[in-house]
Amino acid sequence: MIYAHGLGPTLPRVETGVVSPAGTALLDAVYRQLKVTFTVFRNASPSTPRYFEPENPEMENATMDAGLTPGQVGLYQIDVRIPETLNVPIRCGGETRSTVFAKIVTSQGVENLPMCVEP
Mean pLDDT by runs of 10 across the 119 residues of the chain is: 80 83 66 74 69 50 75 86 82 88 77 81
Query: Quick one: pLDDT at residue 31?
Result: 55
Q: Provide the number of structural domains found in the chain.
A: 1
pLDDT attached to residue 33: 65
pLDDT of 58: 47
Instruction: Quote the CA–CA distance of 18 and 104 in Å, as a whole number.
Output: 26
Looking at residue 24, its pLDDT comes to: 62
| Contact of 76 with 27, CB cutoff 8 Å | yes
Phi first, then psi: what are they for 35, rounded to 5°?
-140, 130
Res 81: pLDDT: 81
E runs forming strands in 1-119? 2-4, 10-11, 26-27, 35-40, 63-68, 76-80, 100-106, 109-115
Domain that holds residue 12: 2-115
**What confidence score (pLDDT) does residue 27 get?**
65
What's the pLDDT at 57?
47
**Is 62 exposed, middle or buried, given 0-12, 13-18 or 19+ CB atoms closer than 10 A?**
buried
Q: Which amino acid is at 19?
A: V
